[in-house]
Amino acid sequence: FVTHDIREAVFLANRIVVLGSNPGSIRIILQNDMPHPRDMRSPAFLAMIDRIHDIITNAIIPDEIAAATSTAVQRHIEPLPYVSPGEILGLLEILDDQNGSIDMFELAQKIGKDFGSTISVAKAAELLDFVDTPKHSVIFTDIGKKFLASDMNERKILFKRQLLSLRLYDVISGMLQKSTKLNLDEEIILEQLAIVFPNEDVEKLFDTMVGWARYGELFGYNADDKVLYLDTGQETAG
């Protein structure tokens, strides 16, 4: 099973092979002896994620970039799963039908996705604090219940608030606010994403990030000019 998602690898695998590139090679083989079902919030689980992250970061990010990018930013800016707001909403609706709790494997059957894709949808909802994922279950949080019970405008307001709790959106919003015209070229954002997330498909990550931001009306994107702009009620000229 091949994945770029460290959390997914730690959740599923008993043996994790970390690959390097240029030239292709095996950097390290790790034995993962945590018992199943695995708790994604347990100290052992989080420690294994940190260990793999450090191995990948030290191998790929040049020293000068690592020095320029603070440890706090590297560790706490988490990539977004490649999931749409609609898929997150679909998960919450299924949870509502299941009285607020469902087994991860049953969820995969209900949404018609493979297990890895199902984990991505659950992780996306968890990042926004709409669900919790103890062991192999997915359960509603109070914020998730409130979001689902709200009308469209209230959902957007709540979604925006949850986005700003994520370090990635906090950083990008700060960059936009500091820019002269409250906008930035797509290329600038892609370069920053490539530095912080060397193993991610940055174009897919960018598209996902923009999709979530547009849903929450946090910032917008002009596809013709390839410009990201703060959503202040009207589009800023590129």
pLDDT by position in tens, the chain (length 238):
888 788 889 999 999 998 876 566 787 889 999 999 999 889 999 999 888 877 766 654 444 334 434 444 444 578 899 999 999 999 999 999 999 999 988 998 888 888 888 999 999 999 999 999 987 889 999 999 999 999 999 999 999 999 999 988 988 888 888 888 889 999 988 888 887 787 789 999 999 999 999 999 999 999 999 999 986 654 443 3
How confident is the model at residue 70, as a pLDDT? 42
pTM over 0.85: no
How confident is the model at residue 59, as a pLDDT? 54
* Token pair in block for residue 235: 């589009």
